[in-house]
Amino acid sequence: MNQFIGVVLLALLSGNVLSQTYSRAGLREYSLQPHLLGSRTYDFEGGASARLDTGLGIGLGYAQHLNDYLAFGIDIAIASIDYRATVAPGAGNAGARFDSSGVMERGTLRLHATWHFLAGRSTPFLTANVGAAHLDPDIDPPSAGGCWIYPWWGQFCGAEPPTHGMTRFTYGGGAGWRFDLHRERGFVRLLVSGEWIDWPAPPGELRNVEFRADFGTRF
């Protein structure tokens, strides 16, 4: 009886080990990346400020695995974020600051490197990226002309607010967990990351947190 139990346990253990035999080396993969951007308040120069609400976005990704642990890739994503802003009077303007609201459309392009700690189907990982972010806010016009200090744009003179977008260097990093599905059915990744957008004026950097789930296929 004891021998029979031992054989069964050995068979179960062997089956489990075999099921974990897996290699990512040489794999190419594509993923769909819905994500959530955390809310954040920024204080800009001259008393202008903006509070971004939680934003939703979607992205596409490609990665190439060099071995079981290291992968390089590229992501492209878009997001829409509601915000509330305070516009301050600029040089020679005796008007009072006013509140405004709008929607920011954001696009990002990132190159990334990812290190997986384990070679199996389930593994924690760390990732780092560099790229570019294009921000396109849409803000209400002032009640009168003159010079106004807007969040993101800085001082701008005229009866209409600035409308041009801006592209900035961005970098970031994150951590998460990856699950490779059995029978070559793809993978799922869950991660939390931080992003820093380089800014030439105060606050110097725009920081935000991103929560993301990747659903992908591999070849």
Domains of the chain, residue spans = 2-218
CATH match of 2-218 with 2.40.160.20: yes
Q: pLDDT tens digits for 175-204? A: 999 999 986 789 999 999 999 999 888 888
Q: How far is residue 78's CA from residue 48's CA, in Å, rounded to a whole number?
A: 25
Q: pLDDT tens digits for 111-158? A: 999 999 999 899 999 999 999 999 999 888 887 778 999 999 989 888
Q: How far is residue 202's CA from residue 122's CA, in Å, rounded to a whole number?
A: 42
Instruction: Decide: pTM greater than 0.85.
Output: no
Q: How far is CA 22 from the centre of its chain?
A: 29
Which three-class secondary structure state does DSSP give residue 4?
A: helix
Q: How far is residue 109's CA from residue 74's CA, in Å, rounded to a whole number?
A: 7
Q: How far is residue 55's CA from residue 57's CA, in Å, rounded to a whole number?
A: 7
